Amino acid sequence: MTAGVVEDRAPAQPAKPGGHRDTASVRFWRDGAIVAERNLLTIRRVPTLLVGATVQPLMFVFLFAYVFGATLGGDAYREFLMAGIFTQTVVFNAAFTTVGLAGDLQKGIVDRFRSLPMSRLAVVSGRTVSDLVVNVVSVAVMVICGLIIGWRIRGSLLDAVTAFALIGLFAFAMSWVGALTGLAARNVEAAQSIGFLWMFPLTFISAAFISAWSLPEPLRTIAEWNPVTAVATAARQLFGNEAPPGFPEPTGWVADNAVAYAAMTSVAIILIFAPLSLWRYRTMARG
């Protein structure tokens, strides 16, 4: 190897007894699990970090259910609302990934990871996995809150499991968007500002809280093809939660294939943003 070329990997680990070394894939999965555990231990020691993942969604539930819901359909709107709240929650929770990575960069923790004999890509993947656990906790809190305000799952058990699996897949996809944002920002303040620039339009120009098919053009088309609309619509269909009377019925290919489209868009987001996040991390490591 010529002088000045920096390899994109951590220092090789010493051979284990018997002369065997861990493969790159083994190190990636093992080190990613260790980083994820480290992030979860941080939350365990500082439980107030979960406030944003639990209290903020609760505020949205009561705000939309009882302030706006009174004029949008009452009990029927509360059932319609919950799938949108689940979807909004996992979008906003991408901020944990964004701020977490930006904070680790700002404090020099990522530089310490780079000095260790570990898979460098595990730093990013471990963050997204730990934040997926945070999303599971957030959705569980929202389920309890929804049951309290009258939301019910009216579909089959298999349909409900499928709906939550779709929400989880979308949460994982959003965490990779958050990872790229955090790596691009390099400090917490910028990360928070950049994150809100895409979170709010993505969430509110959608069918999360209203019928997207009641919006004027071109917002209607944007909302119709928005992944948030797809996940919320798919979850409502699987939960058996119908729209309140007077809400325009969803029409078109996305509405007819909401479950498939929600899964495809989530996978597409992961396939786009995971490599971009890992590429960004590599370029930072070289710098």
> With 80 as the cut, is the pLDDT of residue 285 above it?
no
Indicate the average pLDDT of the chain: 84
> Is residue 35 situated within a structural domain?
no
Tell me how far apart the alpha carbons of residues 265 and 204 are, in angstroms, rounded to a whole number.
18
The residue among 49, 17, 48, 10 whose CA lies nearest residue 32 is: 10
User: What value, to the nearest 5°, has the Cα angle with vertex 277 and ends 129 and 190?
Assistant: 95
> With 90 as the cut, is the pLDDT of residue 231 above it?
yes
Amino acid 14: pLDDT: 46
> With 60 as the cut, is the pLDDT of residue 287 above it?
no
pTM reported for the whole predicted model: 0.86
Alpha-carbon dihedral sign for residues 268, 32, 141, 45: negative
CB 250 within 8 A of CB 220: no
**DSSP per-residue codes, 3-23:** TTPPPSSPPPPPPBTTTB---
> Is residue 237 situated within a structural domain?
yes
> Is residue 197 situated within a structural domain?
yes
Amino acid 271: pLDDT: 96
Tell me how far apart the alpha carbons of residues 19 and 207 are, in angstroms, rounded to a whole number.
57
Residue of 22 and 89 predicted with greater confidence: 89
Amino acid 69: pLDDT: 75
The three-class DSSP label of residue 218 is coil
> Is residue 170 situated within a structural domain?
yes
Q: What is the mean pLDDT of residues 164-169?
A: 97
CB 248 within 8 A of CB 219: no
> Is residue 10 situated within a structural domain?
no
Amino acid 106: pLDDT: 80
Q: Give the count of domains, the chain.
A: 1
> Is residue 163 situated within a structural domain?
yes
> With 60 as the cut, is the pLDDT of residue 21 above it?
no
> Is residue 224 situated within a structural domain?
yes
Residue type, 21: R
Amino acid 64: pLDDT: 84
> Is residue 47 situated within a structural domain?
no
Tokens of 173: 């996809």
Label residue 178 by pLDDT band (50, 70, 90): very high
Q: Which domain holds residue 240?
A: 54-286
